[in-house]
Amino acid sequence: MKARLALTLAMASLWYRKKVLALVCLTLTLSVSLLLGIQYLRTEVKQSFTSTISGTDLIVGARSGQLNLLLYTVFHIGDATNNVRWSTYQSLKEDTRLEWLIPISLGDSYRGNRVVATDENFLQHFRYGRDLPLELAEGQWFEGVFDVVLGAGVARSLAHQVGEEIVLSHGGGRTSFSNHEDTPFTVTGILAPTGTPVDQAVYIGLDGMEAMHVGWESGVAIPGRTLTREQAEDRNFTPDAITAAFVGIERQVLTFRIQREINQFSGEPLSAILPGVALSELWRLMGQFERALLGITGFVVITSLIGLIAVLLTLQAQRAHEIAVLRATGASPALIASLYIIECVALALAACVLALVIGMAGLSLASPWLLANYGLQIALRPLTATEWALLAAVPVAAFMVALIPAFGTWRQSRRLGFGEAADQ
Amino acid sequence: MTSKTDSTSNSSRSTETAIEVSGLGFSWDPVQAPLRFPDIALKRGDHLFLHGPSGSGKSTLLSLLAGMLRPDTGSVRILDTDIHQLGAGVRDQFRADHMGVIFQQFNLVPYLSTRANVTLPCGLSELRKKRTEPTVADEAERLLAALSIPEDHWQRKVTRLSIGQQQRIAAGRALIGAPGLILADEPTSALDADNRDRFLELLLNLAHRHNTSVLFVSHDQSLARHFGNQLELRGDRT
């Protein structure tokens, strides 16, 4: 009965002071949304990051560290230390335990975006995210020597259409002064957005890569020795080397054995890495930053709770008469103190519910836009246990800070005489 | 915190005495000599007019009678219960069960409606809730009507009402659930002469109907004629 009275009184009191408290509640709501949002995005971004590449069991390249190999093959950051001989690639291809191989040849660029020379296996076997295949938004995969397929990001930022001709540059720099001007490429297709580095690259065939480098053996084009498109059409280009290969293994229990075998390959020094392991290692490096961000948001919530207490303590002065009435009518000091706790926790709960609603609405509004513009796939999903715990921590923290005015009132009202209003 | 058994046994007994005070002394400051209060014996249903100059200890006496201050010496028996023998929680409950209160001003909880202010004691005391007939809301409305609070004010915020109306609502709160004793601390000092006499008349009539004793504190000697018993505090120190 007393609990019900306390609840009724607390709710009526909250409603009575709604103007001031709505502002406090808004502050708290925003900070809780921020906290929840960051935790939510953290999980989503991590998920999206660690599945930048999926379905690939091994990445094989010249001997180097696993982060280096991952960075230049998947993220297009940095350069290869060395190449893999074509004969080595052929011998890997003959290994029946390997289900598929995607050859990758790097070295050129198109207006700051990497040129990736590969073959049709890339379209067929490359997977990202939750095992999603690549899809062409427009046109088709390259067939001819001078065909090129653009990543979604490249096509959007440079506003290229299927059928346009583009000139690739020699070398990996953002601005290059030596362009393959004799051998322009025709855009035959544009990939659908993936939200991975795949969007920021252009794809040509291995033969195209070879063809445009004929006459470039010294590093610059020697006039008269480069090929025209017509000359190139009839020739057969077999590369001497590739940069790396993505490997799919038929029986995945063999992954570690095959990895060891490749690492010990006698023909030339090779490295085979597990992309998942390398990705989590990379995330660990970057994870420091997002943990710091979460920490800062935690402090934002604490700050708004302190703001809430400041307001409650200010209101306490106005409540002296009401406390005198309740006390003389027979309310115990504990009941009066509990009003502060109920009010504070109720505000925190309201803020949490509002934050959930705001977060859900914001996410469902923003996610199509994020996907269309940045290829970021952030789906509405049920909250994880950690997120619920984080959310539940808010009313708990509110309860703890409410103990400050509650205890003050409890002590004061114990000493109150008949009809006496506590002076501050 | 609550002591239902204790309070219920007190009320089921039809007690004859409302207040019995003997040898009461209290001091705010241990260095000073304590205030001495005269002995009081008030029969159930009788009213007492208490007057005295300011500083004579009127408010202190009310605090002692309400059980909100502990006396240094002497005993306070309310409805045959020595309230200072009770624990703090039980004493609070005893006050909720058996005492109505009216202050000089700021009598009402500002965020509750008129009716919710009147029914407030029934939320704190099961005993007073049971004594309302047939329901708490009905009794509150009957009291409000008897105290001539217009019906359209019943659900309204109390802060918009006049002082006279606020004091009458406080009287309704004190009377609901027929407590044994009402402690009224200068409830009429903010009212004009007409309102004052009307307020007093209503309060005493309704109290009489419920067999409730009223201890009325005022410095206004002219009100004394409404009361059968009178007592003057002089603020004696020994």
| pLDDT tens by residue, B11-65 | 434 567 888 888 888 888 888 888 888 888 888 888 999 888 877 888 888 888 8
The CA distance from A14 to A274, in Å, is: 58
- Compute the C-alpha angle B190/B193/B198, nearest 5°: 95
Q: How far is A128 from chain B (nearest CA, A)?
A: 59
SS3 letters across A103-166? EEEEEEEECCEEEEEECHHHHHHCEECCCEECCEEEECCCCCCCEEEECHHHHHHHCCCCCCEE
Q: Do residues A44 and A94 share a domain?
A: no
Contacts of A322 in chain B (CB under 8 A): 109-111
- Token output for A66: 């696993």
* Domain assignment of residue A211, given as a range: 58-273
Contacts of A417 in chain B (CB under 8 A): 59-60, 62-63, 68-69
Q: Do residues A259 and A154 share a domain?
A: yes
Contact A421 B120 (CB under 8 A): no
Contacts of B4 in chain A (CB under 8 A): none
CA A117 from centroid of its chain's CA atoms: 27
Q: Do residues A241 and A263 share a domain?
A: yes
Average pLDDT, integer, range A184-210: 90
Q: What's the pLDDT at A368?
A: 82
3-state secondary structure of B190: coil
Give the residues across from B182 on adjacent strands. Answer: B100, B214
- pLDDT(B1) > 50: no
Query: Shortest CA distance to A92 belongs to which of A263, A268, A262?
Result: A262
Q: Do residues A142 and A253 share a domain?
A: yes
- Token output for A423: 């002076």
A422 assigned to some structural domain: no
Q: Which sign does the torsion angle of CA B200, B205, B210, B213 carry?
A: positive
pTM above 0.90, yes or no: no
Number of domains in chain A: 2
| pLDDT tens by residue, A253-280 | 999 999 999 999 988 999 999 998 888 8
Contacts of A419 in chain B (CB under 8 A): 59, 62, 101, 103-104, 185
| pLDDT tens by residue, A92-113 | 999 989 999 999 999 888 988 9
Within 10 A of B14 (CB to CB), how many other CB atoms are there? 8
3-state secondary structure of B81: strand
A75 assigned to some structural domain: yes
- pLDDT(A52) > 80: yes
DSSP state string for B123-137: HH-HHHHHHSSS-HH
A423 assigned to some structural domain: no
Q: What's the pLDDT at A58?
A: 93
Which amino acid is residue A332, in one-letter code? S
The CA distance from A229 to A227, in Å, is: 6
- Give the nearest chain B residue to A17 (CA atoms): B111
Average pLDDT, integer, range A344-361: 92
Which stretch of A48-52, A376-380, B131-135 has the lowest confidence by average pLDDT? A376-380
Q: Do residues A129 and A258 share a domain?
A: yes
| pLDDT tens by residue, A5-31 | 888 889 988 888 888 889 888 988 998
Query: Shortest CA distance to A106 belongs to which of A153, A59, A159, A40?
Result: A59
Contacts of B101 in chain A (CB under 8 A): 325, 328-329, 418-419
Give the residues across from B51 on adjacent strands. Answer: B232
3-state secondary structure of B101: strand
Q: What's the pLDDT at A424?
A: 42
- Give the nearest chain B residue to A419 (CA atoms): B103
Contacts of B69 in chain A (CB under 8 A): 417-418
Q: Tell me which DSSP letter residue A238 carries.
A: -
Contacts of B68 in chain A (CB under 8 A): 327-328, 416-418
- pLDDT(B158) > 60: yes
Q: Do residues A69 and A45 share a domain?
A: no
The residue among A245, A273, A301 that closes a domain is: A273
Q: How far is A312 from chain B (nearest CA, A)?
A: 16
Mean pLDDT across chain B, nearest whole number? 84
Contacts of B103 in chain A (CB under 8 A): 324-325, 328, 419
- Token output for B174: 């004190």
- Give the nearest chain B residue to A321 (CA atoms): B106
The residue among A273, A302, A328 that closes a domain is: A273
Within 10 A of A404 (CB to CB), how many other CB atoms are there? 15
Contacts of B121 in chain A (CB under 8 A): 329-330
Within 10 A of A158 (CB to CB), how many other CB atoms are there? 15
Q: Cα(first)–Cα(last) distance of chain A, in Å?
A: 31
Q: Give the pairing type, strands B35-36 and B17-26.
A: antiparallel
Give residue ranges of A with CB < 8 Å to any B CB. 1-2, 4-5, 8-9, 12-13, 15-17, 321-322, 324-332, 334, 414, 416-421
Question: For chain A, what is the largest distance between any 2 Cα atoms, rounded to a whole number of angstroms?
Answer: 109
Mean pLDDT across chain A, nearest whole number? 86
A280 assigned to some structural domain: no
Contact A329 B101 (CB under 8 A): yes
The CA distance from B139 to B122, in Å, is: 11
Tokens 């290994």 identify what position? Answer: A95
Average pLDDT, integer, range A123-144: 89
* Counts of helices then strands in chain A (DSSP H, E): 13, 14
Q: How far is B83 from chain A (nearest CA, A)?
A: 13
The CA distance from A259 to A264, in Å, is: 9
Q: What's the pLDDT at B29?
A: 81
Query: Shortest CA distance to A204 belongs to which of A248, A166, A176, A241?
Result: A166
pLDDT band at A375 (very low <50, low <70, confident <90, very high): low
Give the residues across from B76 on adjacent strands. Answer: B21
A94 assigned to some structural domain: yes
The CA distance from B146 to B201, in Å, is: 11
Average pLDDT, integer, range A59-67: 91
Give the residues across from A165 on adjacent strands. Answer: A186
- Continuous H helices in A330-417: 333-374, 385-414
Q: Do residues A182 and A201 share a domain?
A: yes
3-state secondary structure of B28: coil
Q: How far is A318 from chain B (nearest CA, A)?
A: 10
Please compute Rg for chain B using Cα positions. Answer: 17
Within 10 A of A287 (CB to CB), how many other CB atoms are there? 14
- Token output for A249: 């293994």
Q: What's the pLDDT at A77?
A: 86
Tokens 């939750």 identify what position? Answer: A130
Q: Do residues A69 and A157 share a domain?
A: yes
Q: How far is A29 from chain B (nearest CA, A)?
A: 25
Q: Are A271 and A2 in contact (CB under 8 A)?
A: no
pLDDT band at A172 (very low <50, low <70, confident <90, very high): low
The CA distance from A145 to B172, in Å, is: 98
The CA distance from A206 to A316, in Å, is: 77
Q: What's the pLDDT at B238?
A: 64
Percent of chain B with pLDDT over 90: 8
Q: How far is B101 from chain A (nearest CA, A)?
A: 7
Q: Do residues A173 and A193 share a domain?
A: yes
Q: Do residues A17 and A159 share a domain?
A: no
pLDDT band at A315 (very low <50, low <70, confident <90, very high): confident
CATH topology of domain B4-232: Rossmann fold (3.40.50)
Q: Give the pairing type, strands A127-128 and A136-139.
A: unpaired
Q: How far is A333 from chain B (nearest CA, A)?
A: 9
The residue among A232, A250, A273 that closes a domain is: A273
Q: How far is A373 from chain B (nearest CA, A)?
A: 51
| pLDDT tens by residue, B105-128 | 888 898 899 999 999 998 888 888
Give residue ranges of B with CB < 8 Å to any A CB. 1-2, 59-60, 62-63, 65-66, 68-69, 88-89, 92-97, 99, 101, 103-104, 106-112, 116, 120-121, 123-126, 173, 183, 185
- Compute the C-alpha angle A33/A34/A39, nearest 5°: 100
Average pLDDT, integer, range A212-223: 78
Percent of chain B with pLDDT over 70: 93
- pLDDT(A248) > 90: yes
Q: Are A419 and B104 in contact (CB under 8 A)?
A: yes
Q: What's the pLDDT at B3?
A: 39
The CA distance from A77 to A46, in Å, is: 19
Tokens 């003050």 identify what position? Answer: A408
Q: What's the pLDDT at B69?
A: 86
pLDDT band at A170 (very low <50, low <70, confident <90, very high): confident
- Give the nearest chain B residue to A416 (CA atoms): B68
Q: What's the pLDDT at A107?
A: 86
Q: Are B42 and B211 in contact (CB under 8 A)?
A: no
Which stretch of A179-193, A276-290, A371-385, B158-172 has the lowest confidence by average pLDDT? A371-385
Q: How many CB pairs under 8 A join A and B?
A: 94
Q: What's the pLDDT at A260?
A: 93
- pLDDT(A414) > 90: no
Contact A2 B88 (CB under 8 A): no
Q: Are A97 and A111 in contact (CB under 8 A)?
A: no
The CA distance from A391 to A383, in Å, is: 10
The CA distance from A172 to A71, in Å, is: 14
* ipTM of model: 0.86
pLDDT band at A224 (very low <50, low <70, confident <90, very high): confident
- Give the nearest chain B residue to A2 (CA atoms): B124
Tokens 């080595």 identify what position? Answer: A88
3-state secondary structure of B230: strand
Q: What's the pLDDT at B15?
A: 64
**Distance set, CA B108 to CA A296, A328, A371, B139 (Å):** 44, 12, 58, 18
Q: What's the pLDDT at A350?
A: 93
